[in-house]
Structure 1
Amino acid sequence: MRIETADVQVRPGTEGDLAALTDIYNHYVRETVITFDTEPFTAGQRRPWLLSYPKDGPHRLLVAQDRGGCVVGYATSSPFRPKPAYATSVEVTAYCAPDASGRGIGSLLYTALFEALAGEDLHRAYAAIALPNEASVRLHHRFGFSHVGTYREVGRKFGRYLDVAHYEKHLDGKPADAHRGTTG
């Protein structure tokens, strides 16, 4: 699967992207509260993460690459939780290179990711957003996510406590109430 604009194409991630993906992620580790990791990674440390994403199936790694061949962002769909009953749920995220933010790359990545996931046996996508992060909140709302709750002061980074907002998106097109059973 490839999605392209005049300047950027989205494709499955490969092992050749590892250094660039590590650099992008490490920027957020070092400079922001967007991730709760606190120590940068080496490419070798990130290799198992990259290799955990097959080219198909519900767990994907897609990268955005500019015309010059530079990786300018990535999006993933990962297992929501390790227990088998969670198999129809994924957690999604997107990261853009610092100099690529605000160019629509996150939207391009999510468009490609949700198109790739459309044929999978998935019911919900979830996202966790460390606050404040208005750009990510807007991105998730644009893609149909609804806010379902916020953990208050759940993490501490750079000497301050941080909230994490949780969002969900229906993937199978059925309203949430259609899947709820009744008890009685």
Structure 2
Amino acid sequence: MTKTDPLERYSIREATEEDLPAILDIYNEQVLNSTALFLYDPIPLQDRQSWFSDSKQLGYPVIVAVEKSTEQTIAYCSLGVFRSKPAYCLSAEISLYIHKSHHRQGLGKVLLSEMIRIAQEMRLRSIIASVTADNAASLGLFGKHKFVLAGKFHDVGYKFGCFLDVEFHELILDAAPKVNAQGVPEYNPFPWGRYTYGGSAL
């Protein structure tokens, strides 16, 4: 049986302020019903507003998938700070969440592939995925995109009455590093306002 191309049903674009309520709903559903996020209580909209503002200011991408028939935002993927000290700046941590009603539609593959392409254009060196060890679907997705296990921490989380292990998976990119006159590495900021899916504006 031939699978339908997800891009026939969904479009991919950069996130906007108007997407934040939908992003919040996706995020909070995961907080309440999964071990993907190590929180117990839903977060307010102001949290996502601050996160979005910080992402734009720092030049990190946030992209969304929109269902064409309803114009509803139903998934998002982002890169963000892996560690705050400046020598880590060519590494970024990835987040990818899909509304529970749109799982198994191929969106994870589309969003992850596009974010890897964006990271290459930003001239990042590595993408880090932090995944709860019981999340087989996410581990499978990252594995198919050549992420490899870098390390595993045991019993570092506790949720739903269970201790949880966390795995860190990494993808090393081949983009040449960009270094300024002082020898400090820099990445190309995401082209907010000029991004098109699969295109280049850097």
Cα separation, partners in 2 of 1:109 and 1:56, compared to 1, 3 Å: farther
Tell me the number of residue pairs that the alignment of Structure 1 and Structure 2 aligns: 170
Return the offset for 1:8: 0.7
* Residue 121 of structure 1: aligned partner: 123
* Residue 64 of structure 2: aligned partner: 63
Kept in 2, the 8 Å contact 1:154–1:164? The answer is: yes
* Residue 14 of structure 1: aligned partner: 16
Return the offset for 1:173: 5.9
Kept in 1, the 8 Å contact 2:120–2:175? The answer is: no
Return the offset for 1:72: 1.2
Q: What amino acid is the match of 1:25?
A: Y
- Higher RCO by CA contacts (8 Å cutoff, separation 6 or greater): 2
* Residue 83 of structure 1: aligned partner: 85
- Structure 2 residue aligned with 1:28, among 10, 30, 47? 30
- Identity across the alignment (%): 29
Equivalences for residues 101-120 of structure 1 within 5 A: 101-120=103-122
Is residue 2:47 matched to residue 1:45? Answer: yes
Provide the rounded CA distance (Å) in 2 between the counterparts of 1:27 and 1:80: 24
* Residue 181 of structure 1: aligned partner: none
Q: What amino acid is the match of 1:93?
A: S
1:89-116 deviation per Cα after TM superposition (whole angstroms, max 9, x unaligned):
0001210001011111111111221122
Return the offset for 1:55: 8.9
Provide the rounded CA distance (Å) in 1 between the counterparts of 2:58 and 2:101: 29
Is residue 2:191 matched to residue 1:150? Answer: no
Kept in 1, the 8 Å contact 2:124–2:175? The answer is: no
Return the offset for 1:51: 1.5
* Residue 166 of structure 2: aligned partner: 164
Provide the rounded CA distance (Å) in 2 between the counterparts of 1:119 and 1:55: 18
Provide the rounded CA distance (Å) in 1 between the counterparts of 2:9 and 2:37: 28
Cα separation, partners in 2 of 1:55 and 1:107, compared to 1, 3 Å: farther
Return the offset for 1:120: 1.4
| Residue segments in structure 2 that go unaligned for 5+ positions in a row | 1-5, 177-202
TM-score, normalising length: structure 1? 0.87
Cα separation, partners in 2 of 1:45 and 1:21, compared to 1, 3 Å: same
| Residue segments in structure 1 that go unaligned for 5+ positions in a row | 175-184
* Residue 99 of structure 1: aligned partner: 101
Cα separation, partners in 2 of 1:56 and 1:79, compared to 1, 3 Å: closer
**RMSD value, Cα:** 1.7
Kept in 2, the 8 Å contact 1:26–1:40? The answer is: yes
